[in-house]
Amino acid sequence: MSNSNLPETRGLFIAMEGGDGAGKSTQAQRLAAALQEAGRTVLRTREPGGTPVGEQLRALVLEHGNGEIDARTEALIFAASRAAHVQQVIEPALAAGTVVVCDRYVDSSIAYQGAGRQLGTEPVRILNTWATGGLEPDLTVLLDVDPARGRDRRTAGQAVEDRLESEPDAFHLQIRLAFLEAAQAAPGRYLVLDAGRPVDELAETILRRVEKLLP
């Protein structure tokens, strides 16, 4: 969606994407902190979740023990959470001039449900275009992680893996490739980084890119 005819106060929408354990939350936190320090109004949020209904959907779809959740149902739950998030949180924040830093967005659904669950990336893209009213990030930071490294990082930090994290490495490899494909299709709107680089170095690179986009 073009931002050209929107008011000048409109903020900036940054999505952090990448596989499990890539460092998305770490970098979202670092970016939000740096921008706040520079005097910007920042909203750091995450998907699935970000609203009361979205957090309930998150628990439903990520926690074990909710019975079988087939691939289409899973895709619809993520899309429903995202629809609420965009309408109730992201759009109002952008309209107020806020910089929104969102931990996962549409590309995660394209990668996990489209590629990982093999629903096809196009149907999942279409579903999400409808759910979001076509809202796209101004910049997507893709932290490209080797699935084995992501798994090592996760298990070093927390013992329990959620429904998607506990899928085998082959599933995570398909996800990695789907993220990279999305980035290749629109290189101008992506910053693709090797998630194996040091935290500080990544934070610096991301901040420099975002600063160029600030209104």
Ligand X SMILES: Nc1ncnc2c1ncn2[C@@H]1O[C@H](COP(=O)(O)OP(=O)(O)OP(=O)(O)O)[C@@H](O)[C@H]1O
Per CB under 5 A, which region of 24-32, 107-115, 167-175, 182-190 contacts Mg ion? 24-32
Residues, the chain, total?
215
User: What is each CA distance from 47 to 3, 27, 166, 182, in whole angstroms?
Assistant: 23, 15, 18, 18
Q: At what angle do helices 147-157 and 169-185 cross, to 10 degrees?
A: 120
Asked if residue 172 lies in contact with residue 178, where contact means CB atoms within 8 angstroms, the answer is no
Which helix (H) or strand (E) covers residue 43, if one does?
strand 42-46
CB-nearer residue toward ligand X: 188 or 198: 198
Contacts (CB under 6 A) with ligand X, residues 93-152: none
Per CB under 6 A, which region of 17-25, 83-91, 119-127, 166-174 contacts ligand X? 17-25
Asked if residue 15 lies in contact with residue 137, where contact means CB atoms within 8 angstroms, the answer is yes
Q: Site size for ligand X, by CB under 6 A?
A: 15
Applying CB under 6 A, among 13, 14, 15, 21 the residue interacting with ligand X is: 21
Interface map 184-213 toward Mg ion (x if CB under 5 A)? ------------------------------
88 binds Mg ion (CB under 5 A): no
* Alpha-carbon torsion, ordered 163, 164, 168, 172, to 10 deg: -170
25 binds Mg ion (CB under 5 A): yes
CB-nearer residue toward ligand X: 91 or 144: 144
Site residues, ligand X (CB under 6 A): 18, 20-26, 153-154, 157, 197-199, 202
